[in-house]
A and B are shown apart, each in its own frame.
Chain A
């Protein structure tokens, strides 16, 4: 899932200061699961904004709404009336959701209420960890299901480096060395020989070079 964090209340207030009527729009998918932009967070942030605005003498009316998914036109439709009756939208979705709303309503200012952080998982209650860099060419099959691009601080495809100490990363001793994990996992599944092969440099043209990426599926076009 996409993991995000809320911005500070005073920063949000600064972002929306030129507006009198604001819609705080939540998203019921990834950001709900990572406790950043779901219905509950919409309610908290809306109340916090109302109070902070009052304390600063700013006139601000805040409406709350959460839709199932902001990155999908079908669901965006449900927010149409609320968006129309407000001066601006503070979207508590990931960057994709914010842009989808902005594209759909070109005359309405749409702002991001969250900082979208990474693609990750819930490691344990209250801890989310990055697992995927969306690099465009997955190499997980070569490394026992552990991604060196994301989890090695040096993104090494032919590791480990000489800096790891007792399975800890030299960049941050609180982190496990991804390459130690890869070695242990490949040994466990009997695929250590994969490490004997030197991997050529990765094709980064499928990552973030040359602007945004698109995927075209002719079989699904209408």
Chain B
């Protein structure tokens, strides 16, 4: 019998104006990317707050992936720059908590980048697979656990 491979659950916040469309494009182009990501469409990555990322980990996500527009290409001018700063802040906070910061990553893509987005998702899934399950899930149980 083959040993069971860990399949991470990754929350992907995708900007409506770029990454969400490029994920759609990847689908239209029949490009495969792992089903480990749960895509959540957001009006702009600038709408995302530290709270969203922290809650995702608390509720059992093994990784959180944020895909925004290319720098300089944000529909709302600088939403993706704001998101980058919040992601960096949250990565520091994750380290304080004791969670590997690599589990949270932000990338920038345009709406035409179906293939690159699929590659970035594959890379993220592999990174998290190597890290293993979210350590919070492994340490005791709570009523808030495994809501994914």
Contact = CB atoms under 8 A, between A and B. Distances in A.
B99 A51 contact: yes
A47 B55 CA distance: 7
Given A43-B51, A44-B50, A47-B55, A54 B96 contact: no
Interface residues of B, number: 18
A52 B140 CA distance: 12
B77 to A, nearest CB: 14
A54 B51 contact: no
Nearest to A8: B96
Main secondary structure of the interface of A (DSSP, over half): helix
B49 A51 contact: no
Interface string B47-76: 001110011011000000000000000000
B98 A56 contact: yes
Interface residues of A, number: 16
Contacts of B97: 9, 48, 51-52, 55
A115 B121 CA distance: 40
Nearest to B145: A54
A9 B96 contact: yes
Contacts of B27: none
Nearest to B49: A40
Nearest to A52: B97
Nearest to A43: B51
B136 interface: yes
Contact of A54 (B49, B50, B55, B140): B140
Contacts of B57: 47, 51
A55 B54 contact: no
B50 A51 contact: no
Nearest to A59: B140
Nearest to A56: B98
Nearest to B93: A48
Contacts of A201: none
Given A40-B51, A52-B98, A54-B142, 4 more contacts: A9-B93, A9-B97, A10-B96, A55-B139
